[in-house]
Structure 1
Amino acid sequence: MSDTKVYLLDGGTLVIDGFHAFWNRGPGGELRFPCYSVLINHPDGRYIFDTGYDFDHVMRVLPFEKPIQEKDQTLPGQLAKIGFKPEDINYVINSHYHFDHCGGNKYFTKACTICHGAELDACSHPQPFEHLGYSDLSFAPEIAKAAGKTLPADPALDMYTPKFETLKGDQELAKGLWLFETPGHTAGHYSLMVELEGRRPMLFSADACYSQKNMDMMCISSFHLDPVASLKSMQRLKDLAAKYDAELFYSHDPDSFKNYQTGGNFYA
């Protein structure tokens, strides 16, 4: 834990309507929000928490989300800024399998993929209203094949043969590296907490809570499987933050993201 460093990797931005970000509360209109990944350089290995979206997939399937992603905002580009390559990553942890959290999995050909068992199951047969959320199955070519979906030609996918480790319940993956169950947004959603030597723990909400404003209003996003479970998970994040004196880092908060350390800077 004393040697652990945490990097936030800027993956570009997307657009949704305010009524989706703040379910039935708004205000409406375009809201451009960040997507990022978390690199944990831990004494036991290098972990990536979530891998953002794939630009080509979004342009092909969800162009109305108006992606902006420069070449250096892809995961290979972000890793290069801090002296790493995708093959240096040992583990990919996915909070859930919505397209904007798994689009870069394909780059990590040597990593073990960690997720909640319920999430891996859900993405293979999502509810009808989850169709677009689970539209990018490049992280699991065998699931895509079983679902009758043809993945686009992509050199990265030619090398990608994922191996999965599925979990359930809260888990300490390595010393000071915790996964907490926060379902509701999806069936098997995980949030992540990293304990560090020189600062308060970092608690990454992932999509259990998009932003500080969502938390202040106790207002979930419209993209959810179970709204009651979603609210309970938001309260759980509040309780975990209080219990561990942790700082919450939100997944899609344009205001908070401005103050996060990115671009090669790290937390330790």
Structure 2
Amino acid sequence: MTIYPIETGNFKLDGGAMFGVVPKSIWNKTNPADSNNMIDIAARCLLIEDGERLILVDNGLGNKQSEKFFNYYFLWGDHTLDGSLKKAGFHRDDITDVFLTHLHFDHCGGSIQWNSDRTGYEPAFKNAKFWTNEAHWKWATQPNVREKASFLKENLLPMQESGQLHFIDRKNSSFLEQSELGFGIHFMDGHTDKQMLPHLHYKGQTVVFVADLIPTVGHIPLPYVMGYDTRPLLTMEEKAAFLNAAVENNWLLLFEHDAHNQLCSLKQTERGVRLDERYSFDELFKTQ
């Protein structure tokens, strides 16, 4: 197995929304805001090369939304999905599987693109299976009022219409389950129903792609929960169990949304689980 971080582009989100009830005077130390109260956010994805399978975990915002839509998110930087895939030696047509942690637009927007004459939509990965789970698909396609603006039908329905949509088979309700894609999955319900976090054994390390359970290094402390979460108290319960397991088992966290930190380790302190060391992917794995 070989894994690659895939940078699809950066954007900005409101810092208050990203940290919920935590005061700005505290979160601004780790995630400094600009004059509009916006903080830097990455749309970092993960590419897993495993035998004949090439699995892309999430795919960013995509490029089919309107200029007005993207103006809300202050896009910045030079990263693109195709550019990052090319740097890794691949093309989007090489992707065999697209695994979606959940179906919010910043995680699955790149799944679907305009067709050639812009009269409709088509899958952006023509040779891939799209993987979600049945419970989350129902949650996303029959959305609650809170999340309706994050579940865009143009991102979702074309996956089903193409015949490329598949569901992960959740066999039980354990903390960590083995999937048919060859890696483990943590199911989390606090941010949105049945979010899935890939759990990988790689070059003697265990790496967990933490998606929206822990968006950035600044979100490691237990009460630091996004205002976007549908069940914040449940998020804290899930985080507590996850962070304790991560420290006990020396897991590395791979961040999807931290624009300035790719990976970190954790340590137990008198104040609870905290950041230990920060790493770039290259410095940690390219030398191994």
Q: Deviations over 1:150-171 (max 9, x none)?
A: xxxxxxxxxx552212333443
Once the two structures are superposed, the pairs formed by residues 107-186 of structure 1 within 5 Å of their partners are: 107-135=124-152, 137-141=154-158, 161-168=163-170, 169=173, 170-173=176-179, 177-186=183-192
More helix by share: 1
**TM-score with structure 2 setting the length:** 0.76
Q: Which residue of 1 aligns with 2:80?
A: 74
3-state SS, counterpart of residue 203 of structure 1: strand
**TM-score with structure 1 setting the length:** 0.81
**Alpha-carbon distance in 1 for matches of 2:193, 2:89:** 35
Moved over 4 A (4+): 265-268
Gaps of 5+ in 1: 146-159
Count of residue correspondences: 245
Deviation at 1:259, TM superposition (A): 4.4
Q: Which residue of 2 aligns with 1:151?
A: none
Q: Which residue of 2 aligns with 1:51?
A: 59
Q: Which residue of 1 aligns with 2:194?
A: 188
From 18, 21, 25, give the equivalent of 1:24: 21
From 97, 100, 103, give the equivalent of 2:103: 97
Deviation at 1:48, TM superposition (A): 1.0
Decide whether the 8 Å contact of 1:5 with 1:266 is kept in 2: no
Q: Which residue of 1 aligns with 2:251?
A: 246
CA RMSD of aligned residues (A): 2.6
Decide whether the 8 Å contact of 2:141 with 2:153 is kept in 1: no
Which is further off, 237-246 or 35-44?
237-246
Decide whether the 8 Å contact of 2:40 with 2:258 is kept in 1: no
Matched, 1:214 2:219: yes
**Alpha-carbon distance in 2 for matches of 1:40, 1:234:** 25
The higher relative CO (CA closer than 8 Å, separation ≥ 6) is in 1
Deviation at 1:30, TM superposition (A): 1.3
Deviation at 1:43, TM superposition (A): 2.4
More strand by share: 2
Deviation at 1:215, TM superposition (A): 1.3
Q: Which residue of 1 aligns with 2:271?
A: none
Q: Which residue of 1 aligns with 2:236?
A: 231
Letter of the 1:189 partner, please give it. Q
Q: Which residue of 2 aligns with 1:260?
A: 280
**Alpha-carbon distance in 2 for matches of 1:250, 1:40:** 15
Q: Which residue of 2 aligns with 1:42?
A: 50
Deviation at 1:130, TM superposition (A): 0.7
**Alpha-carbon distance in 2 for matches of 1:115, 1:266:** 30
3-state SS, counterpart of residue 65 of structure 1: coil
**Alpha-carbon distance in 1 for matches of 2:287, 2:20:** 32
Identity of aligned residues (%): 18
Q: Which residue of 2 aligns with 1:155?
A: none
Deviation at 1:213, TM superposition (A): 1.6
Deviation at 1:178, TM superposition (A): 0.9
Q: Deviations over 1:174-207 (max 9, x none)?
A: 68611111111111101111101x2411111110
**Alpha-carbon distance in 1 for matches of 2:221, 2:5:** 23
Letter of the 1:25 partner, please give it. V
Deviation at 1:217, TM superposition (A): 4.7
3-state SS, counterpart of residue 9 of structure 2: strand
- Rg (Cα) greater in structure: 2
**Alpha-carbon distance in 2 for matches of 1:190, 1:179:** 6
**Alpha-carbon distance in 1 for matches of 2:74, 2:97:** 30
**Alpha-carbon distance in 1 for matches of 2:85, 2:185:** 23
